[in-house]
Structure 1
Amino acid sequence: MIVVTGAAGFIASCLVTRLNAANFNNIVVVDNFSVAKKLPNIQGKKIKEYVDRNEFFEWLDKNYEEVEFIFHLGARTDTTETNRDVLNLLNLDYSKQMWNACCEYQIPLVYASSAATYGSGTLGYDDDESLTHLLQPLNAYGESKNDFDIWALQQTAKPFFWAGLKFFNVYGPNEYHKGRMASVILHAYNAIKENGRFTLFRSHNPDYKDGEQMRDFVYVKDVVEVLYWLMHHRKNSGIYNLGSGQARTFLDLTFNTFTAMGAPINVDFRDTPEDIRDKYQYYTQANMEKLKSIGYDKPFHTLEEGIQDYVQNYLMTGAYY
């Protein structure tokens, strides 16, 4: 059996689809299944068992001998969350418990970290583990992810294989439930469909013109390919970046969304909300050499390719992946 936590969420539900496509059907999905808006993400998938996240470790104690691999992708992912008790419970304490269980039962583990750990990027975007304790995230979510990375690196007891993946700006199907935290592509699509225009955040940094803030946007189908590959690789444990390796502007992203929809380009700007303005990343770009160095060589979608697939095959049809 393969365990996927956060399974009704965005990336994890896409991973279940990828596993099913490779004929892995004994999937144990773990989540808070009371959140109804996420449930369409896992409908129609081949799943062996559903386990509530609060009951998972009790379940694992009884079933560990059958578990081949754990993908721990469940987390509180709202970057505007300020309740540290919630973040500590879901992003730190739960992950520590997962790590310790994988050590005890010798189960390989891949877990979700985040590019939010890099903060403003003053130390760059290299997944050099010696820099982890020096990083200064800009929000409590990023801090919770970095705190776990630091804790994991300090442990003498480790799963025989483990990988922490610093996800950059992931976009693609199955993020429909994420509301404000969904990718700009989804927000752009909805706005363009409704009124033929889209409004981007204005730059409040003199080094960047409006709309030329840059992020490493990575298509979710590329993310799950890396996850699938790591399940088979099972060596070279450590923390890895997972982005496209190519920073692109929000104007690039928006123009490509208009183009994929066959709509004329019409872009406005508004001030960045004050609650995120001083925590805003103006530039991110994953250094992907570390992942490539251990043998991962599949090409990633370009932004143009990813947006076209997402818009035309999912957003315009209402399909899930």
Structure 2
Amino acid sequence: MKILVTGGAGFIGSAVVRHIINHTQDSVINLDKLTYAGNLASLDSVSSNPRYHFAHVDICDKTAVQAVFEQHQPDVIMHLAAESHVDKSIDGAAAFLQTNIIGTYQLLEVAREYWQTLPISKKDDFKFHHISTDEVFGDLDTDAPSFHEHSPYNPSNPYSASKASSDHLVRAWARTYQLPVIVTNSSNNYGPYHYPEKLIPVVIINALQGKALPIYGSGQQIRDWLYVEDHADALYRVISQGKIGETYNIGGNSERSNLDVVTTICDILEKHVPTPAAKPSYRELIKHISDRPGHDRRYAIDITKIKKTLAWQPQTTFQTGLEQTVLWYLNNEDWWRPLLAD
């Protein structure tokens, strides 16, 4: 297959690109605007592969996106390009509405026009895979059942509202124009190459620099954590075996409070890079700060459907994945250090 991955220089997108190049014989066209969170260094290991191609394009630029479709003639679209940081969306929602809603609309229109011109043999195999988040469902009480594929949408912040909007657009294009789409909603991802603005990389890097480890409020907010390479494997499983028109929830079966995540990172760091006796321990660097406006209490994903229908389940336990992540940041300072100056 020729697979066009939007946002392929981002955290999840780069994991998908590496997975396809390293574990399949498919070709990848990475279409990325290269905003602050897009980093081509995350693709150094595959960038010289003849099956990999990069297009420096904004998904909001319809003409430029059309040119990529015409040049590469993709068989599958994996749409990951998005603004994704909740804090940034609270401070300035405009970029999130532009990329996540208008960008998705432009991509859908280009894909629809392209798909309609394909010969029957290729038309029947074409797929538009939209990658979304569990945050579109809002939050859960501590003892509530996990989100499933038919959970009602109830987004809490500009980021999740913009992603919910994009999900609705994709399904509308499927119903109105019969565009062959698949939607996936995943839980919180973590792992190597994560831009240092999200909880886990912030805590690792701050701890290594002896800085405060910020936790919103009490730190009792619960998230389901999914190792990014497991997610990439699931996404490829979906485009290979998933059914057109279906939605699949992808989770890690690893619910943890934010405080638990941070203290676990501290303990892993103490094992590998012990703090000197004269300095505060990593746990002593933890600092509770004012809570985020509208902060969701809990996310949890029910993966029964993808487990039963596509025989996928996460392979990486949270403890193993988190230790691998910490070790990656310890061994790849040349990747993250330049990003701190941006």
Instruction: Establish whether TM, by shorter chain, passes 0.5.
Output: yes
Is the CA contact (8 Å cut-off) linking 1:117 and 1:137 kept in structure 2?
Answer: yes
1:159 to 151, 164, 179: 179
Question: In the alignment, is residue 221 of structure 1 matched against residue 225 of structure 2?
Answer: no
Per the alignment, do residues 24 and 159 of structure 1 end up closer, same or farther by CA in structure 2, a change over 3 Å counting?
Answer: farther
Per the alignment, do residues 138 and 14 of structure 1 end up closer, same or farther by CA in structure 2, a change over 3 Å counting?
Answer: same
Give the corresponding residue for 1:17. Answer: 18
Is the CA contact (8 Å cut-off) linking 2:131 and 2:184 kept in structure 1?
Answer: yes
Query: Equivalences for 1:88-103 in 2 at 5 Å?
Result: 88-103=97-112
1:316 to 326, 330, 335: 330
Paired amino acid for 1:19: I
Give the corresponding residue for 2:188. Answer: 169
SS at match of 1:241: strand
Identity %: 19
SS at match of 2:203: helix
2:158 to 100, 122, 140: 140
For residues 195-246 of structure 1, what are the alpha-carbon distances to aligned partners after superposition, in whole Å with 9 as ceiling and x for unaligned?
286342332xxxxxxx332111111011101011112114253222222133
| Distance (whole Å) between structure 2 residues aligned to residue 52 and residue 16 of structure 1 | 16
Query: Scaled by the length of structure 1, what TM-score is found?
Result: 0.83
Is the CA contact (8 Å cut-off) linking 2:132 and 2:167 kept in structure 1?
Answer: yes
Is the CA contact (8 Å cut-off) linking 1:118 and 1:125 kept in structure 2?
Answer: no
CA-based RMSD: 2.6
1:50 to 46, 55, 63: 55
Question: In the alignment, is residue 116 of structure 1 matched against residue 161 of structure 2?
Answer: no
SS at match of 1:307: helix
Per the alignment, do residues 250 and 7 of structure 1 end up closer, same or farther by CA in structure 2, a change over 3 Å counting?
Answer: same
| Distance (whole Å) between structure 1 residues aligned to residue 167 and residue 79 of structure 2 | 13
Cα deviation for residue 23 of structure 1 reads: 4.2
Unaligned runs of 5+ in 2: 116-122, 275-280, 336-342
| Distance (whole Å) between structure 2 residues aligned to residue 84 and residue 142 of structure 1 | 11
Query: What is the aligned length?
Result: 300
Is the CA contact (8 Å cut-off) linking 1:102 and 1:108 kept in structure 2?
Answer: no
Per the alignment, do residues 128 and 231 of structure 1 end up closer, same or farther by CA in structure 2, a change over 3 Å counting?
Answer: closer
For residues 78-98 of structure 1, what are the alpha-carbon distances to aligned partners after superposition, in whole Å with 9 as ceiling and x for unaligned?
223255543332111221232
Unaligned runs of 5+ in 1: 204-210
Query: Scaled by the length of structure 2, what TM-score is found?
Result: 0.78
| Distance (whole Å) between structure 2 residues aligned to residue 245 and residue 89 of structure 1 | 33
Cα deviation for residue 71 of structure 1 reads: 0.9
